[in-house]
Amino acid sequence: MKHKYGLILASLWLALVSFGAHAQLPSTVNGQPVVSLAPLVDKAAPAVVNIRVVQERRGPFGRAFESGGAGSGVIVDADNGYILTNHHVVGEADEIQVGLIDGRTLDAEVVGSDAATDIALIKVEGDDLTEMPIGDSNAVRVGDFVIAIGNPYGLTHTVTSGIVSALGRTGINREGYEDFIQTDASINPGNSGGALVNMSGELIGINSMIFSRSGGNIGIGFAVPTEIASSIMGQIIDFGEIRRGLLGVNIQDIDSEAARTLNIETEGGALVSRVFPDSAAEKAGIEVGDVIIGINDKAIKSATELRNTVGLLRSGDNVSIRYIRDNKKQTTSAVLGSAAGQMLSGADIHPGLAGASFSPASTSSESGVEVTAVEEGSPAAQRGLRAGDVITAVNRVLVRDLNDLREIARNNRILFLLIQRGDRSLMLQIR
Instruction: Give the C-alpha separation, 221 to 204, whole Å.
Output: 14
Helix or strand (DSSP H, E) at 185: none
Indicate the SS3 state at residue 399: coil
| Cβ partners under 8 Å of residue 413, min gap 6 | 431
| Sign of the alpha-carbon dihedral angle for 153, 158, 163, 168 | positive
Give the active site residue among 88, 165, 302, 404: 88
Question: What are residue 49's DSSP bridge partners?
Answer: 73
Confirm whether 192 is a catalytic residue: yes
Give the active site residue among 11, 87, 113, 118: 118
C-alpha separations of 50 from 89, 150, 206, 234, 256 in Å: 11, 7, 14, 23, 48
| Cβ partners under 8 Å of residue 235, min gap 6 | 112, 241, 242, 243, 314
Q: Where are the beta strands (DSSP E) in 6-139?
A: 6-9, 28-29, 32-33, 48-58, 64-77, 82-85, 95-99, 105-114, 119-124
| Cβ partners under 8 Å of residue 382, min gap 6 | none
Confirm whether 88 is a catalytic residue: yes
Give the active site residue among 192, 230, 359, 364: 192
Confirm whether 22 is a catalytic residue: no
Q: Where are the beta strands (DSSP E) in 296-412?
A: 298-299, 318-325, 328-335, 337-338, 344-345, 356-360, 369-374, 390-394, 397-398
Residues with catalytic roles: 88, 118, 192
